[in-house]
Amino acid sequence: MEAYLGIDVGSVTTKLAVVGKDGELITHVYLLTQGKPIQMVQQGLKQIEQQLPKQVNICGVATTGSARYLAGIIVGADLVKNEITSQAVATLHHIPEVQTIIEIGGQDSKIIIIRDGIVIDFGMNTVCAAGTGSFLDHQAQRLNMSIEDFAQRALDSKTPARIAGRCTVFAESDMIHKQQMGHRTEDILYGLCQALVRNYLNNVGLGKDIRPPVVFQGGVAFNQAIVKALREELNTEVIVPPHHELMGAIGAALLAQEETVISNNGSKFKGFEVSEEQYHISSFECKACPSLCEIAQISLDGHVLARWGGRCDLWERSPSN
């Protein structure tokens, strides 16, 4: 049975998804990255191997996410793709009529504009936390509650408090002010959800032609209060697809299938045995020019597999130097 593996390594979570020849999900793994992308990829591979039926054969692998190049080196990826392409491919596979994709993760957020099945525009936020999941996580911790309780209680709000959400620091001080004024906790919580949505639309979505169908994905889509706030702000239905948190990995797996069919050269996948290897990450300062870039490198058994991190491609071109 042919299958294809997609690996999405983000700053907060690491996702692995295996799809069959028909593009349907066979199995998946969802892990917290915890600042250890190599170990999480290896752990994910171990779990995927245990979950896969014995007759399944991995015929192609692709990686995506912020650590896609690192993950690609480890597993022997056939393809390394950016998050925009991977998210769009997965969404179009499940919801072909989609025109707007809203993706909010733990540390960044994206908007993808699609017309007639083609990505024509996109926007990303990788700097300000106020339009990402970490914004809500931080406020939940301050209020001494889990993010699950946060979402549930926010849905009970009757008169949401208006929270200034353009900046995490200002939002926190405004939240404290609303508490001191006597606003109900539920109203403050939903006010924070509305603030995140406003920040997202005023930054990532600024100037974008948002048309329905609108699909909302990423880890924050678990939060039904955010889904509700998006629907109210956009005044349209917002679709949350099944496995919305895995769309990057699913898209990568679908792209791996396409690449394998086109190239017809077989897969470069190193196999599940790489989960047992001991990789070593180190860095050094390049003195080839005045920029003095810090170059990172990954090694296995004393052999350098790859280098990256420079302003030019000197070390990417010559990993054996």
Axis crossing angle, helix 133-142 with helix 185-203, rounded to the nearest 10: 160
Overall average pLDDT of the 218-230 stretch = 93
pLDDT at 2 over 70: yes
Q: Is 281 helix (H, G, I), strand (E, B) or coil?
A: strand
Q: How far is CA 28 from CA 52, 63, 131, 212, 238, in A?
A: 9, 14, 27, 29, 25
User: What pLDDT score does 315 carry?
Assistant: 81
Specify the higher pLDDT residue, 170 or 241: 241
User: What pLDDT score does 130 carry?
Assistant: 54
- Least confident residue range of 10-19, 45-54, 179-188: 179-188
Q: How far is CA 120 from CA 89, 249, 281, in A?
A: 13, 22, 38
For the chain, which domains are there?
2-89+247-276 (3.30.420.40), 97-240 (3.30.420.40), 279-317 (no CATH)
Q: Tokens 């993010």 belong to which residue?
A: 147
> What distance in Å separates the CA atoms of residue 285 and residue 296, rounded to the nearest whole number?
9
Q: What is the mean pLDDT of the chain?
A: 89
Residues 6+ positions from 213 with CB-CB distance below 8 Å: 95, 97, 98, 99, 100, 237, 239
Strand pairing report for 279-285 and 294-300: antiparallel
pLDDT at 319 over 50: no
User: What pLDDT score does 86 carry?
Assistant: 96
User: What pLDDT score does 58 carry?
Assistant: 95
Q: How far is CA 172 from CA 34, 162, 274, in A?
A: 25, 12, 44
| pLDDT per position as a tens digit, 132-178 | 777 788 888 888 888 889 999 999 999 999 887 666 667 778 878 88
Residues 6+ positions from 101 with CB-CB distance below 8 Å: 87, 88, 91, 110, 111, 112, 114, 214, 215, 217
Rg (CA), the chain: 21
> What distance in Å separates the CA atoms of residue 131 and residue 136, rounded to the nearest whole number?
9
CB atoms within 10 A of CB 55: 7
Q: Is 141 helix (H, G, I), strand (E, B) or coil?
A: helix
pLDDT at 261 over 90: no
| pLDDT per position as a tens digit, 272-292 | 999 999 999 888 999 989 999
pLDDT at 249 over 60: yes
Q: How far is CA 52 from CA 9, 49, 145, in A?
A: 20, 5, 36
| pLDDT per position as a tens digit, 52-110 | 988 899 999 999 998 898 899 999 999 999 999 999 999 999 999 999 999 998 778 89
Overall average pLDDT of the 193-209 stretch = 90
> What distance in Å separates the CA atoms of residue 106 and residue 318, rounded to the nearest whole number?
34
Specify the higher pLDDT residue, 173 or 183: 183
> What distance in Å separates the CA atoms of residue 241 and residue 231, rounded to the nearest whole number?
15
Q: For the purposes of burial, counting CB atoms within 10 Å of the CB of 299, is it exposed (0-12), middle (13-18) or buried (19 or more)?
A: middle
The angle at the Cα of 272, spanning 60 to 43, to the nearest 5 degrees, equals 110
Q: Report the predicted TM-score, pTM, of the whole model to 2 decimal places.
A: 0.88
